[in-house]
Amino acid sequence: MLMLKASRERQDFKNELLHACRVNLAYDRQCENDRVKYLHDLIYETGDRLFFRDELMRCLNTDAPEENIDIVQIFCILCKLAEHDPLVDRTFLKNFLIGADYEMARGECMNAFVYLEGIDGLLICIRKFGQLMSENDDHIWLFRSLISTLRLRDGVKTVAASLARNRGDCTELEKLMSLDESKDQIPVPAKVDSINYAQAKAEFNPMKGFPRSWVKNAPTEELIEAAENLLVEKDDQIVWRYLQIFGVRDYPRPPQTIFHFVESSNGRIAMAATRALARLGNPEIRTYALALLNRTKDPGCATRLLRNTFVTGDLGTVEAALKPDSMDENSWHGLGLAVLDLIKNSKISADEYRNFLIKLYEEGPCSLCRTSFVEKLLALGDMPDWMAEECLFDAEPDTVALLRTGNMDAVNGSEI
Count up the domains in the chain and report the number.
Answer: 2
Composition of the chain by helix, strand, coil, percent to 5: 65, 0, 30
Q: For a pLDDT cut of 70, what percent of the chain falls above it?
A: 94
**Confidence grade of residue 185 (pLDDT, cut at 50, 70, 90):** low
Distance separating alpha carbons of residues 207 and 219, to the nearest angstrom:
24
User: Quick check: is 392 in a domain?
Assistant: yes
Number of Cβ atoms within 10 Å of the Cβ of 386: 9
Last residue of a domain, one of 135, 161, 183: 183
User: Quick check: is 415 in a domain?
Assistant: no
Q: What is the per-residue pLDDT across 368-381, written as a single tens digit (0 to 9) for each?
A: 999 999 999 999 99
Mean pLDDT of 340-349: 91
Domain that holds residue 94: 2-183
Residue 160 and residue 232 share a domain: no
Distance separating alpha carbons of residues 56 and 38, to the nearest angstrom:
16
Q: What is the per-residue pLDDT across 260-293, written as a single tens digit (0 to 9) for each?
A: 999 999 999 999 999 999 999 999 999 999 999 9
Distance separating alpha carbons of residues 109 and 381, to the nearest angstrom:
40
Grouping H, G, I as helix, E, B as strand and the rest as coil, residue 205 is strand
User: Quick check: is 7 in a domain?
Assistant: yes
Last residue of a domain, one of 159, 183, 207: 183
CB 328 within 8 A of CB 299: no
Nearest of 16, 108, 37 to residue 71 by alpha carbon: 108
Last residue of a domain, one of 183, 212, 235: 183
User: Quick check: is 188 in a domain?
Assistant: no
User: Quick check: is 35 in a domain?
Assistant: yes
- pLDDT above 70 (res 414): no
Is residue 303 packed enough to be buried (19+ CB in 10 Å), middle (13-18) or exposed (0-12)?
Answer: buried
Residue 153 and residue 68 share a domain: yes
Size of the chain, expressed as the number of residues it contains: 416
Q: 107: left (phi > 0), else alpha (psi -120 to 50), else beta?
A: left
Distance separating alpha carbons of residues 125 and 173, to the nearest angstrom:
10
H or E segment and range at residue 110: helix 108-117
CB 244 within 8 A of CB 207: no
User: Quick check: is 413 in a domain?
Assistant: no
Residue 394 and residue 269 share a domain: yes
Residue 156 and residue 242 share a domain: no
**Confidence grade of residue 11 (pLDDT, cut at 50, 70, 90):** confident
